[in-house]
Amino acid sequence: MKLSPLLIATAVLSYNASAADYSVPIENCVKAAEAVKNNDAALLKPLVRDLSPEEEKAMASYLAKTHKYFTNGSYQGIHNFRTNEVQVIENAKTSIYQRTRKNAEKYDYDEEIWVNYTFDTSYAGKENGQKSGQCKFAQLDGRWVMMNVLK
C-alpha cells in the first residue's frame, strides 16, 4: 500500500505541532525555577492563572516560603536546573491523581502536562544531591497555566 505524500505531510505536521505545543510548558518550568530561586513574583505572575489582588498577595507569600524552602531550608539552592521528559495526563477530570482531578474539574480542562525536572542541590546538613519533581500545566483560555510551583 502506497501512502499519499499529503497524508505523510499531514502526519508529520501533526506530530511536530503536538510536540511543539509542549515547548511553552517546558520553557515556563525553567522560568518558574528562576522565579523560586530569585523569589521573583513578577517572573512567576505570567505563568499562573489570572489572580485577584488577594490571590496575588497569597502567591507572593507562597513564593517567599517556597524560595526559603529551596534555598535556605531543606535544600540549599537550585543549581543546574534541567527539564527531562514530558508526561501527558489525558482525561484529567477522571485522573487517578486527586490534585489533577480536582483542578481539572475546578478550572474545566481535559489535559494536564507534567514537565519533569531535576536540579543539583545540597540537603541541609547532608551531602550534595539532586531534587526531582514536576511542573504541572494546563491550557486555560488558550494559554499554558502553571498548576503548581516546583512540586
Q: Which fold has domain 9-146?
A: Nuclear Transport Factor 2; Chain: A, (3.10.450)
pLDDT, one tens digit per residue, over 39-97 is 999 999 999 998 889 998 999 999 999 999 988 888 888 999 999 999 999 999 999 99
Sign of CA dihedral 12, 15, 19, 20: positive
Spell out a b/e string for 141-151, using b for 16 or more CB atoms within 10 Å of the CB, else e: eeebbbbbbbe
**How many residues appear in the chain?**
151
Domain ranges of the chain: 9-146
Q: What are the cell numbers at 99?
A: 490534585
On whether the CB atoms of residues 89 and 147 are closer than 8 A, the answer is: no
Task: Give the span between the Cα atoms of 107 and 72, in whole angstroms.
Answer: 33
pTM over cut 0.85: no
